[in-house]
Chain A
Amino acid sequence: MNAGNWLTPDEWQAVALSLRVAAVAAIASLPVALLTAYALARWRFPGHAVLNGLVHLPLVLPPVVTGYLLLLTFGRRGTIGAFLDQFGIVFAFRWTGAALAAAIMAFPLMVRAIRLSIEAVDPGLEQAAATLGASRIWVFLTVTLPLVLPGILAGLVLAFAKAMGEFGATITFVSNIPGQTQTLPSAIYSFLQVPGGEGAAGRLVLIAVAIALSAVFISEWLAKALARRVSGA
């Protein structure tokens, strides 16, 4: 795709990679986030507080620490990384690793958005559905899920925006390899390290701002449309 004369192939590569990393991170973590949010919102079980803390950990840890921990576990010699390596699944220094780092950093935001919307669903509606003959899975699919859709959407957009901007954990875990792991923020960082790179950095900054703003607008618009559908007002 031709991005016009004002983006060099290198710059375009960083933008495209970032979009791919953020999209994959947001979409791949959605099922896990939905399950986690549902469990935190509706189930009482031993370890509830521990799970809640674990989910929020990336939010409070320095990103560099998260990246380093990822390197220790998902690196080629890390416990999980070495295991997955046998099946040809490699995260370290690949774009998949960048997506993993972005997903983990964005996870708390997504879980939080979805959890809040699940907690806002009146359990009485789910009880009513059960008395009308719907089993638990049908109650979830026909009542809970449609009602939390705005929250899921908000979570997706938030996670996508967070993933687009992820820098610390990514650069620690998968480094800054152009075409492989050099996302938008890493590229801006690199351009600022060399004399005369301000122009390229400025263009990328504009793109970052544009993407972030459109994400916010799109999510607002979709949330409003959904809220209208859900409340029937």
Chain B
Amino acid sequence: MLSVSFRHRIGNSRINADFAAPNGVTALFGRSGAGKTTIVQAVAGLLRPEYGRIALDDTVLSDSDGGHFLPPHRRAIGYVFQDARLFPHLTVSQNLLYGRWFSRRSQLAPPDQITRMLGISHLMQRRPAALSGGERQRVALGRAILSNPRMLLLDEPLAALDEARKTEILPYLERLRDDLGLPILYVSHSAAEIARLATTIVLVDQGRVIASGEAASMLSDPAMAPYLGARQTGAILSVTLAAQEADGLARVDSKAGPLWLSCLDRPVGTPLRLRIMAQDVMIALQRPADISALNVLPATITDLRLDEDGVLVRLDAGGDPLLSRITRRSAERLDLRPGKAVHAVLKAVSVAPGNIGAASLCPTPPR
């Protein structure tokens, strides 16, 4: 567990960081320039905070009380930078083994396992200049892991890459989270990335931590909506896989009733987390008949929030929160207000990250 509590001033901007990062992937989420990188640098020891304390488990990394400061090379914290920062005069293989040379900690994983996991085994004798952006980031990731760190810091490792490269690397990050069990601090301003990777979310705005908590509840918190953007706002539903039905659909049971998903090659009884985007949830006053959507849940309105994108409705579906994004006109026409009983029509339902092997759930559509 990483506990961070410090204040620091750079030029005119102030950083006031106060959060804890349990094991798993903790996302530092916020707009560009919010101070996320400064926080990560303080954890790595590349920056010495003016006031406060940072500790990893029982090791104090820095503490302004008593002027304690552990230099970066003695922290055993792997850092993957936005711009890879591979050593240009060394080969991929030499880059990968650089940190191992200094590490006195026991090996996290054998090098060939890591290179296979990251898909870089065939690049070993190349120089960084001869690598693509995605390959460079994977080598940087491998280099950090092979230094046998106690924790990994990933500072927007995908920011410099195009969409194709991002989708190339994301599965590796998921495997990292699920296979190595290293605590990871993940900096991002991309809601899609954190929805896929994070188990804990720390929301940073203008140098301050304004909220933090478990990913599922943070993602469905209307207060997060302005930071997530209209398309990424959504809720997480905890369900259990109840049955595989003859026509290929899988039935899952939520607290508010059954839902059907298109494909799930998991054993019956598996608990799952479903991510339901606010823009995929319609609201009906009566249970709609003759409608193509399969998934309709009875719900009660708990909160309406007006913002520049319309109205964000928070619903209670048998105890689980749901979010729905509708227009202001619809809200007025249906006379929606807290306490009103409605039906939520779910246009799309997807399995949320956080389930081990979630990426492999639907390998190929059934023939």
* Residues of A in contact with B (beta carbons under 8 Å apart): 122, 124-125, 127-136, 138-139, 142-143, 146-147, 229-233
Contact = CB atoms under 8 A, between A and B. Distances in A.
A222 to B, nearest CB: 15
Interface of B: 44-46, 71-79, 81, 83, 85, 87-89, 91, 98-99, 101-103, 126-130, 143-144, 147
A133 B85 contact: no
B88 A232 contact: yes
Contacts of A142: 98
A230 B87 CA distance: 9
Contacts of B75: 131
Contacts, number: 81
Contacts of B128: 232
Which of B79, B83, B89, B102 is the most central at the interface, judged by chain A CB atoms within 10 Å of its CB?
A: B89
Given A122-B85, A128-B81, A147-B89, A133 B147 contact: yes
A131 B78 contact: yes
Q: Which 3 residue pairs are nearest across A and B when measured between Cβ atoms?
A: A232-B127, A133-B102, A132-B99
Nearest to A149: B89
Contacts of B72: 127, 130-131
Given A134-B73, A232-B127, A129 B87 contact: yes
Nearest to B91: A232
A136 to B, nearest CB: 8
A48 B87 CA distance: 30
A132 to B, nearest CB: 3
Contacts of B143: 132
Contact of A124 (B71, B81, B89): B81
B127 A133 contact: no
A132 B85 contact: no
A146 B126 CA distance: 18
Nearest to A135: B73
A169 B326 CA distance: 85
A125 B85 contact: yes
A224 to B, nearest CB: 15
A128 B79 contact: yes
Contacts of B71: 130, 135
Contact of B98 (A122, A129, A147, A231): A129
B147 A132 contact: yes
